[in-house]
Structure 1
Amino acid sequence: MDMNSINWLAVLVAGVSAFVLGGVWYSPALFGKAWMKENKMNMEDVQKGNKARIFGWAFVLSLIMAVNLAMFLTEPAQPCPGAPVVNISWGATAGFLAGIWVFCSIAVVALFEHKTARYIFINGGYCVVALILMGAIIGAWR
């Protein structure tokens, strides 16, 4: 794989977009209250966490997800007949498909942890939407 064919600015923006989306997704305005209830947490419990560690790693992991998705969306040096053209539409589609993998993984683990469907859809839904957004950004900047 030619790492020079990756648009690193697009990867950075895609990673930041997932990080920002997480802030909105898990805010009290959207799913934050439901997420805390599903995890038997309250705002005091959330505030106890090491914010630098949590947000720092969340940002790094979002960037890793974006790099990984960009690698899948890199067009080969020798075009393959019938291969999709990488654009915003294919990027979003690839993000959605990757999101389904992650959603299913979260669901499997959550089932063994006796978590609810609500828990699965809050966390899995975030991953699907974040990967669609990242794929669209990376695909648009080809």
Structure 2
Amino acid sequence: MNIWIVLAAAASSFLVGGLWYSPALFGKVWTVENGSQMAAGHPAKVFGVSFAFSLVAAAAFAVLVGPSPGLEASVKLGALTGIGLVAASYGINYQFAQRSLKLWLIDGGYHAVQFLLFGVVFGLWG
């Protein structure tokens, strides 16, 4: 496993997440759909733990995609993982929790983009 690819993928995910959940994109709607409840906690801890989870996700993707994946195969695996596994799993939980479709589209959509981006990073680098 190439740690530099994992770090690049995790960083790309983290940067996209910052934009995705910012007021410029979906941050305001996300806050409303969550009942205007923001998670409490020190920002350094929140961002640090979030980046650690991005590293875990990127490392897991590295195992799935294998060494030297082609761009097409890597992007397809990213779509399958992000949409078919992560977003679909969120959908199950959100249905039982009675969360809105908008919230699922925002959160599931982020993870779909996250793993598609992983596919691009791994496919271009590998």
Please say whether Structure 1 and Structure 2 have the same fold, judged by a TM-score greater than 0.5.
yes
- Deviation track 1:87-133 (CA, whole Å, cap 9, x = no partner) reads 22211111110002100110100111100110100000000001100
Name 2:60's counterpart in structure 1.
68
Residue among 114, 118, 122 paired with 2:102:
118
Residue among 112, 119, 123 paired with 1:135:
119
- Deviation track 1:37-76 (CA, whole Å, cap 9, x = no partner) reads 000116xx46x4321221111000001100000111114x
- Deviation track 1:11-60 (CA, whole Å, cap 9, x = no partner) reads 10000000010000000000000000000116xx46x4321221111000
3-state DSSP class of the match of 2:75? helix
1:7 partner letter: N
User: How many residue pairs align between the two structures?
Assistant: 125
In 1, distance between residues paired with 2:98 and 2:45?
27
3-state DSSP class of the match of 2:69? coil
- TM-score normalised over the length of structure 2: 0.93
Where in structure 1 do 4 or more consecutive aligned residues deviate above 3 Å?
Answer: none
- Percent identical pairs in the alignment equals 36
Segments of 5+ residues of structure 1 without an aligned counterpart are 1-5, 76-84
Segments of 5+ residues of structure 2 without an aligned counterpart are none
- TM-score normalised over the length of structure 1: 0.83
Name 1:86's counterpart in structure 2.
69
The structure carrying a bigger helix percent of its residues is 2
1:70 partner letter: A
